[in-house]
Each structure stands twice: as structure tokens, then as C-alpha cells.
């Protein structure tokens, strides 16, 4: 079995994470904010500690501005719905995932105007077009840090600087980069960071978060309403953080997994993981460039994460992915990868591509086998 679908979720997960989570489940999986007993306080400390680690990991402001969610999709829904409404303007790019496009589409129906920034055939953003759109007084600019189709990394620091210049709230979808590419909210001028725990962070599915910077948490309305274990005398959501955005019981095992993973990644060094994945991507692309049955899509972008999309010329891409699985035990993903506009931009709509996404445990031998399999197909 060769797993090359790390763009979807990382596999395997961080070594030792499952044991850590099991111990947590076995020994102290009590709810926080609800019990006065001391073991519940221990669990609260773990959650608090995870907020601190997340803030440190992403260069965010300490503590309470870290909100836990079920993943980046929920995070983006929370942030976009909380910040935008009738009469507001938003700016985004043509390289976004449906986790951005669909909330924006719903908001458009409620009176938000959404403007799209052009990207080229390698998925690279047109910064002049962005500036033009930022001049039109939008409230929010939301951009994916890296394309989940072709790996193109957006120049978030420059985009953030432009957003600052025009007083626009800069929201980043870090689904493909958190845990692999160095992100520093302060250095990169990010106002709100949305991340997911189960991809590059090597944690469990069902956990992710939002990190608010500056006064964005105050401006953002709550998205999900319910009990917080605090201010129970009132039927309004609390204004304090993180309670304002965390109604209902949190995914505590997921938070425990993140707690472990932040330490794991710090110890491994994300720059080492990124270098490893990039080396394998280069090896793969060198190999498939020699073949005349496939084209690498968006492969000429200046900066990319280890996500490669191939367009097979002699066979349907869905069928190629199926054959890779059934005949070679190589797991890839075909189709549009929830990013229809990205495929239109890259020229692969509606046929899609076959995506190979390398992970921290992928080996050279596996990559060589993948090249051979592509050649045979
Ligand atoms: C760029 C991007 N944004 C958002 C998502 C949604 O992530 P999740 O399913 O963890 O919410 C993905 C997942 O593939 C993605 O690649």
C-alpha cells in the first residue's frame, strides 16, 4: 500500500499520537467548563495549553484568541459568516476550495458582494488585480495559503501587507500548509488564520481551529449558538473569548491530539518535513516529465507545497486513479478536488486531474514505484 493522498488527510499520523490520545481517553476525558471536580481542571489545563501551543506555533496572539472547531471548513464558515453580511464586500481568488467558495456563495445570496482575483495557469495570484479589488473597500480578503490542486503557495506576506494598506481583514485558509510551511501571523500580516488538524499537523480528523488577531474576534459575530458552561443565567452568547465561538462540548480527544502534534512537529522541525516532501515531489516530477502520457498541471509556480496534479493524456483521469489503486496499490485522488474554479483557471475543468500528495513518511522507493506505475498506464 502506497499512500499518496496526504492532501486529503495525512497518513500515517504523528508517531505516538494515538497512544497519547488513548491515555487521555482512558484517564482524563472529562468535560471542561462544566465540573468543579479537580480532574476537570486538569483537562481544562490541557485545552488551555493547546491554545498556547497553537498560538506559538502560528505566531498568533497568546491564548484565548485560539478557537477550536471541527476543522478548517467549520473555521471558514465561522469566520466568513461572522464577519460578512448584507452590504459587505469580500475578495477572494479563483484558486479556492469549496470550503471558501460555498460559504461565500451562500453569503452572496444574502447581499454580500464577492469579487474574484485572477490567477494564472500555474495558480499564481495576480497581485495587481488583487490591489485593484482591495481598493474597492472590501471588508474581508480570504485566500488559500496553498492550492490543494497543484500545490501553488500564495505570497501571503505580500497579500497581507496589501490588505493592511487598504484596511482589509486578511483571512487565510491554511488547510494545505499548517504543519508543513512556516506560518507566522504577525510576520505574514494575517488577521485570521483558519487551520485543520488532520492534514500537515498530523492530528486526528474532526479538529481544527481559528486564530484571531487584533480586534477581529470582537468584530466577528458568533456562528454557532449554545451552552458554554459560562454565563448560564443568560440566553445570549458570552462576549468573552473563547466562549463566544465555542458553543457545545469541544472535541477534547482531538485537542489532545493537537497538543501532542505541536510538540511532535516542533521536535521534528517542519522545515525538515517540508524539505523531505519537496525532495520527493521533485523526484516524482523529474520522473514523470520523461513520460509523454502525462502533463504536470500548475507545475511551474515559483513556490509549491508537495502536491502534484497530473493530467493523463491517453486515459480518463478517474480511471487512471482507479488503476493506480487496484493494480498498483497506490492511493491518489482524482476529480476536481472540491476546487472547481481552480480547475477552470488551470485548464483542467471538468475532467479534473490525478493528485499525488507526498507526506512526511513517504519514501523514495514509493515514489519510484509511482513513477513506474504512471509510465505503464
Ligand atoms: C485548501 C483547502 N481548504 C479547505 C479544505 C477543507 O478541509 P477540512 O475537510 O479539513 O475541513 C481543504 C481540504 O482538502 C483544502 O485543501
Q: What is the reported pLDDT for 37?
A: 67
* Whole-number pLDDT of residue 165: 98
Q: Determine the average pLDDT of the residues in 242-252.
A: 96
Q: List, for residues 261-295, the tens digit of each pLDDT value.
A: 999 999 999 999 999 999 999 999 999 999 999 99
Gap between the Cα atoms of 83 and 221, Å rounded:
7
Residue with cell 476543522: 71
For residues 86-105, average pLDDT: 98
Cα–ligand 1 centroid distance for 353 (angstroms): 17
Which whole number is the average pLDDT over 8-13? 98
CA of 236 to the centre of ligand 1 (A): 31
* Residue among 237, 190, 192, 164 at smallest CA distance from 75: 192
**How far is the C-alpha of 172 from the C-alpha of 170, rounded, in Å?**
7
For residue 36, pLDDT over 80 is answered with: no
Domain ranges of the chain: 2-11+269-376, 17-268
CA dihedral of residues 121, 123, 124, 126 (deg, nearest 10): 70
Q: For residue 144, which atom of ligand 1 is closest to its CA?
A: 1
Q: Is the predicted pLDDT of residue 41 greater than 80, yes or no?
A: no
CA 350 to chain centre: 24
Ligand 1 geometric centre to CA of 370 (Å): 25
CATH of 2-11+269-376, one of 3.20.20.450, 1.10.530.10, 3.90.1150.10, 3.40.640.10: 3.90.1150.10
Q: Please, what is the average pLDDT of the chain?
A: 96
Give 7's pLDDT tier (boundaries 50, 70, 90): very high
Tell me the percentage of the chain whose pLDDT exceeds 70. 98
The C-alpha atoms of residue 222 and residue 200 are separated, in whole angstroms, by: 27
Identify the residue whose C-alpha is closest to ligand 1 atom 16: 148
Q: 143 alpha carbon to ligand 1 midpoint, in Å?
A: 12
Query: What is the 333 CA–ligand 1 centroid distance (Å)?
Result: 14
Distance in angstroms (rounded) separating the CA atoms of residues 48 and 43: 9
Please report, for residues 19, 48, 57, 209, the alpha-carbon distance to residue 269 in angstroms, rounded to integers and kept in the order given.
Answer: 21, 23, 11, 21
* Residue in 68, 100, 338, 343 to alter for ligand 1 test, most ligand atoms within 8 A of Cβ: 338
Residue closest via CA to ligand 1's atom 9 equals 73
Task: Note the pLDDT tens digit of each residue in 43-70.
Answer: 889 999 999 999 999 999 987 899 999 9
- Write the residue with the smallest CA distance to atom 15 of ligand 1: 175
Q: Does the pLDDT value for residue 31 go beyond 90?
A: no
Please answer whether residues 240 and 263 qualify as being in contact, where contact means their C-beta atoms are separated by less than 8 angstroms: no
Q: What is the largest CA-CA distance in the chain?
A: 69
Q: Which residues line ligand 1 (CB under 6 A)?
A: 8, 71-73, 97, 99, 144, 148, 173, 175-176, 196
Task: Output the CA 340–ligand 1 centroid distance in Å.
Answer: 14
The pick from 11, 148, 306, 353 for probing ligand 1's pocket by mutation, whose C-beta has the most ligand atoms within 8 angstroms, reads 148
- pLDDT one-digit tens code per residue, 124-160: 999 999 999 999 999 999 999 999 999 999 999 999 9
Using most ligand atoms within 8 A of CB, pick from 77, 99, 251, 338 the residue to mutate for ligand 1: 99
The domain 17-268: what is its CATH number? 3.40.640.10
Q: Which of 375, 201, 352 is nearest to 284 (CA)?
A: 375
Task: Report the C-alpha dihedral over residues 99, 102, 104, 106, rounded to 10 degrees.
Answer: -140
Q: How far is the CA of 127 from the centre of ligand 1 (A)?
A: 24
Compute the average pLDDT of residues 198-214.
98
Q: Residue 205 is placed in which grid cell?
A: 480528523
Ligand 1 center from residue 9 Cα (angstroms): 9
pLDDT at 35: 62
Amino acid at each position: 500500500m502506497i499512500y499518496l493522498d496526504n492532501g486529503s488527510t495525512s497518513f500515517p499520523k504523528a508517531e505516538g499520537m494515538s497512544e497519547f490520545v488513548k491515555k487521555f481517553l482512558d484517564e482524563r476525558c472529562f468535560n471542561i467548563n462544566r465540573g468543579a471536580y479537580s480532574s476537570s481542571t486538569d483537562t481544562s489545563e490541557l485545552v488551555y495549553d493547546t491554545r498556547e501551543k497553537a498560538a506559538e506555533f502560528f505566531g498568533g496572539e497568546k491564548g484565548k484568541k485560539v478557537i477550536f472547531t471541527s476543522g478548517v471548513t467549520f473555521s471558514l464558515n465561522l469566520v466568513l459568516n461572522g464577519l460578512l453580511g448584507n452590504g459587505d464586500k469580500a475578495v477572494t481568488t479563483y484558486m479556492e476550495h469549496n470550503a471558501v467558495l460555498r460559504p461565500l456563495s451562500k453569503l452572496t445570496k444574502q447581499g454580500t458582494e464577492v469579487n474574484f482575483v485572477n490567477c494564472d495557469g500555474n495558480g499564481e495570484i495576480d497581485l495587481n488585480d488583487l490591489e485593484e479589488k482591495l481598493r474597492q473597500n472590501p471588508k474581508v480578503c480570504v485566500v488559500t495559503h496553498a492550492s490543494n490542486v497543484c500545490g501553488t503557495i500564495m505570497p501571503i506576506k505580500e497579500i497581507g501587507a496589501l490588505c493592511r494598506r487598504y484596511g482589509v481583514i486578511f483571512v487565510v485558509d491554511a488547510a494545505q500548509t499548517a504543519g508543513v510551511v512556516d506560518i507566522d501571523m504577525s510576520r505574514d500580516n494575517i488577521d485570521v488564520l483558519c487551520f485543520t488538524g488532520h492534514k500537515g499537523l498530523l492530528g486526528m480528523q474532526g479538529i481544527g481551529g481559528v486564530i484571531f488577531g487584533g480586534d477581529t474576534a470582537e468584530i466577528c459575530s458568533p456562528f454557532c449558538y449554545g451552552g458554554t458552561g459560562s454565563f448560564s443565567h443568560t440566553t445570549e452568547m458570552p462576549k468573552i473569548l473563547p466562549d463566544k465561538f465555542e458553543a457545545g462540548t469541544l472535541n477534547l480527544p482531538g485537542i489532545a491530539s493537537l497538543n501532542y502534534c505541536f510538540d511532535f512537529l516542533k521536535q521534528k522541525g517542519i522545515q525538515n518535513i517540508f524539505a523531505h516532501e519537496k525532495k520527493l515531489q521533485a523526484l516524482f516530477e523529474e520522473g514523470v516529465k520523461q513520460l509523454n502520457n502525462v502533463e504536470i498541471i500548475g507545475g511551474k509556480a515559483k513556490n509549491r507545497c508537495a502536491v502534484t496534479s497530473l493530467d493523463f493524456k491517453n486515459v480518463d483521469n478517474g480511471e487512471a486513479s482507479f488503476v493506480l489503486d487496484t493494480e498498483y496499490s497506490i492511493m491518489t485522488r482524482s476529480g476536481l478536488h472540491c476546487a472547481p474554479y481552480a480547475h477552470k483557471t488551470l485548464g483542467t475543468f471538468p475532467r479534473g486531474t490525478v493528485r499525488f500528495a507526498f507526506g512526511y513518511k513517504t519514501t523514495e522507493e514509493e515514489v519510484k514505484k509511482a513513477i513506474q506505475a504512471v509510465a505503464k498506464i
